[in-house]
Amino acid sequence: MNKTDKIYIAGHRGMVGSAIMRKLRAEGFTNFVTRTSAELDLRDQPAVAAFFAEEKPGYVFLAAAKVGGIVANNTYRAEFLYDNLQIQNNIIHSSYVNGVTKLMFLGSSCIYPKMAPQPLHEDALLTGLLEPTNEPYAIAKIAGIKMCDAYRAQYGCDFISVMPTNLYGYNDNYHPQNSHVLPALIRRFHEAKESGAAEVVIWGSGSPLREFLFADDLAEACYYLMQNFDEAGFINIGSGKEISIKDLALLIKKIVGYAGELKFDSSKPDGTPRKLMDVSKLAEKGWTYKTELEEGIKLAYHDFLLKHVER
């Protein structure tokens, strides 16, 4: 990418899209084209086609999606399938029609079969049944990978796909019902600290293992791969490190400064026992993460305080 190339970041106000924009700005890129969801409904095929025909971006980061936690995924199954298919179909096809030089599609680690061997290697895609609660979202993301591959095979498009692990960081979602585990714990411990609550209850046993990556590290990886990855299929992006939910809770408790007790409610579901990405392919391409979990959580908590508390 040249510094003057026109770059379209779909989803530029979200956690991932805003991180990619920060990275590109830091590298000296200035020619961005963006639209908010109010300005452009990415589910609207004629509107997206008109936008691409008018703006003619050279590079596209497809980070827009309808996202949410387990409850949202399982409740709004039709919306998660329809909206995400529409968004990616419209952007990928319009990128082909308008001669986009390169497109990066961002997926999700939920594309892997529920019982896939750990750590999750790229070869495990479509080798088993998906986790039922987020199956619609996963199917949409799998379709996006295969669509990029199909346009590469049939039309010679340089469209690539990357699969991030669990992300956290600036501009995260701290909604009480719809957020993911790490931001949800930040909010819960902060509110418990402010209210003087004697204990914080954590769902499950605390034993499941999860991997987390700071969103700005993901943006670094996306920038690197946009220049150094050019093949069908996809590549995992993660830290390659895992932590138990219990240890994560204890770490966040320390960072927030909550003095009360932790209580684990074993009557609640644990979810998948382990979910770790195999990042050997990424390492072979020459990239590894930078931000350690404790440092990243401190940055995320500071951002939470600025945006959600000190207003």
Q: Quick: pLDDT tens for 146-157.
A: 999 999 999 999
> Does position 241 have pLDDT exceeding 60, yes or no?
yes
Task: Answer yes or no: is 210 a known binding residue.
Answer: yes
37 is in an annotated binding site: no
Task: Give the model's pLDDT for residue 75.
Answer: 87
- 8 A C-beta contact, residue 236 and residue 163: yes
Per-residue confidence (pLDDT) for residue 179, from 0 to 100: 79
Residue 272 has pLDDT above 90, yes or no: no
Q: What is the mean pLDDT of residues 16-36?
A: 97
In whole angstroms, give the CA distance from residue 35 to residue 267: 44
Per-residue pLDDT reduced to its tens digit, 54-64: 999 999 999 99
pLDDT of residue 310: 59
Query: Is 281 marked as a binding-site residue?
Result: no
Nearest to 278 by CA among 232, 241, 230: 241
Question: Which listed residue (59, 96, 112, 137) is catalytic?
Answer: 137
CATH number of 7-170+212-240+275-291: 3.40.1360.10, 3.40.190.10, 3.40.50.720, 3.30.428.10?
Answer: 3.40.50.720
11 annotated as a binding-site residue? yes
Does the pLDDT of residue 67 top 90, yes or no? no
Q: Does 120 belong to an annotated binding site?
A: no
Give me the chain's average pLDDT, please. Answer: 95
pLDDT tens digits, 84-122: 999 999 999 999 999 999 999 999 988 999 899 999 999
Sheet arrangement for strand 32-33: 32-33, 7-10, 59-62, 102-106, 159-164, 235-237
pLDDT digits (tens, 9 = 90+) for 210-226: 999 999 999 999 999 99
pLDDT in the model for residue 134:
86
Closest CA to 111 of 144, 86, 79, 78: 144
Residue 311 has pLDDT above 60, yes or no: no
Residue 137 has pLDDT above 70, yes or no: yes
206 is in an annotated binding site: no
- Is 137 noted as a catalytic residue in this protein? yes
